[in-house]
Copies of this chain bind each other. A is one copy, B any other.
Amino acid sequence: MTNPDIQKVELEKAYRLLNHGPTVLVSAQDDDDIDVMAAAWACALEFSPAKVTVVLDKSTKTRKIIEKNGYFALQVPCLAQLDMTYQLGSISQFDELNKLELCGTQLFYPDDSGVPLVEGCIAWLICKVIPEPHNQQAHDLFIGSVMGAWADSRVFRDGHWYFSDAHRSLKSLHYIAGGTFYTIGDEVKANL
């Protein structure tokens, strides 16, 4: 990893990267075919072995690549990537061949899995599809087994988010509709 802020996250704690419900970017590659889309419907499914769900509409190029290749990444974009996140969720590569260039999306490869990750995000999970044809066809629901996880140590380290200490531009995004998002807010602690 060339960026020293990016640190490995142990797989047993990977669910914490998604537990607060951020909007994610979904990336995938099959040979020269690469796409990235935004998705609000991604969720942890299992602690250990770490698994996730993500809903991928049949109209998306990203889904087509994942169906061929069997791997995808979920990554957590931050406020600095607000416009890019919305654009990646609004523009289809079927309409705009140079979608990723238009959106200013830069990629990197953290391991030899060949799954591209989006630079500037605050957390990344590389996942292998657990084939579930019924879920994929009937519900557009994909289940992935988490193979590797990383986070930007400026906001996530030792298994915990530190949004309150970090710069506002590193806050996660939570999509509503029509280009409106919320950032994550303040940390609060509950008592039993």
Contact of A1 with B by CB under 8 A: no
- Quick one: given A20-B175, A163-B182, are A46 and B85 in contact (CB under 8 Å)? no
A6 to chain B, nearest CB (A): 20
In the bound complex, do residue B45 and residue A141 qualify as a contact, i.e. CB atoms below 8 Å apart?
yes
In the bound complex, do residue B184 and residue A185 qualify as a contact, i.e. CB atoms below 8 Å apart?
yes
Question: Please, how many angstroms separate the alpha-carbon atoms of A41 and B44 in the complex?
Answer: 6
In the bound complex, do residue B20 and residue A192 qualify as a contact, i.e. CB atoms below 8 Å apart?
no
* Shortest Cβ distance from A81 into B: residue: B190
- How many copies of this kind of chain does the complex include? 2
Question: Please, how many angstroms separate the alpha-carbon atoms of A165 and B86 in the complex?
Answer: 24
A 85-108 contacts with B by CB, 8 A: 85-87, 90-91
In the bound complex, do residue B188 and residue A182 qualify as a contact, i.e. CB atoms below 8 Å apart?
yes
A 142-192 contacts with B by CB, 8 A: 143, 159-161, 163, 171, 173-177, 179-192
Question: Please, how many angstroms separate the alpha-carbon atoms of A55 and B15 in the complex?
Answer: 13
Contact of A114 with B by CB under 8 A: no
Taking residues whose C-beta sits less than 8 angstroms from the other chain, chain A's interface range is 35 or more
In the bound complex, do residue B141 and residue A161 qualify as a contact, i.e. CB atoms below 8 Å apart?
no
Contact of A42 with B by CB under 8 A: yes
Contact of A134 with B by CB under 8 A: yes
A 1-40 contacts with B by CB, 8 A: 16, 19-23, 40
In the bound complex, do residue A180 and residue B192 qualify as a contact, i.e. CB atoms below 8 Å apart?
no
Question: Please, how many angstroms separate the alpha-carbon atoms of A46 and B187 in the complex?
Answer: 30
Enumerate chain A interface residues (CB-CB to B < 8 A). Answer: 16, 19-23, 40-46, 51, 53, 55, 79, 82-83, 85-87, 90-91, 134-135, 139-141, 143, 159-161, 163, 171, 173-177, 179-192
